[in-house]
Amino acid sequence: MEIREIRDKKIMQEAIDFLSAKNPIFQEIIDKYGLPPIPKRPQGFETLVLLILEQQVSIDSAKATFLKIKAYTVCDPATMSVLSDEEFRSLGVSRQKTLYIKILAEAVLSKELDIESLAVKSAQQVREELIRLKGIGNWTIDIYLMFCLQEPDLIPLGDIAVVNTIKELLDIHDKQEMEIHARQWSPYRSYATYLLWHYYLNKRNRKITY
């Protein structure tokens, strides 16, 4: 077992112990469905493109479109900036998301955004850099921070699965109240999110590869 894997398991156990002490519902999720997967994606432009595609649609649908793009051409800033709107449309990308992808590509090409540097910045600095780009909102930033930069303490309340699961399990229906309630899960709010997703997907017999 690699050192990183051992460390990840140790952190996961610490998070589970902490969260279960705050609310037994987390241990109940594990008892019923097992440990949640920890989503991991590579840092970089391609993942940000995939996250744009995932906005307000299912992960599976977005991934199918992303794979079409990859089969058609290279998914890098230079190529995406010059791909025509018609080509994007033929690949299943909406006009709005085409615009967002092009804005992202041009920001990288102009060096307005240095994606590689995000790895050494704080979560707040990453948010401030990415939020300036049209089409990249807090949900996209939250998921990039969690999946790519392994930020341990975020709860994406722009995510419908998280919100619906909190409503179901905790009977909290106001987003501001959710945010306040989730503060007690800090510094492991991301792990709480993984458990909430795990419950949401398993209850619906859905399997997702992040």
CB contact burial 140-153 (16+ within 10 A = b; e otherwise): bbbbbbbbbbebbb
pLDDT over 80 at 20, yes or no: yes
Segment 77-86, tens digit of pLDDT:
999 999 999 9
What is the residue whose two structure tokens read 């990308």?
A: 93
HEC states along 27-67?
HHHHHHHCCCCCCCCCCCHHHHHHHHHHCCCCHHHHHHHHH
Instruction: Give the least confident one: 2-6, 69-73, 152-156, 175-179.
Output: 2-6
And the tokens for 197?
A: 């997703």
Mean pLDDT of 188-210: 94
Residue 209 is predicted with a pLDDT of 82
Residue 1 is predicted with a pLDDT of 57
The CA distances from residue 122 to 28, 91, 151, 157, 160, in Å, are: 33, 35, 9, 20, 26
What pTM does this model have? 0.94
Q: Where are the beta strands (DSSP E) in 71-169?
A: none
Angle, alpha carbons 134-140-145 (nearest 5°): 125
H or E segment and range at residue 100: helix 95-109
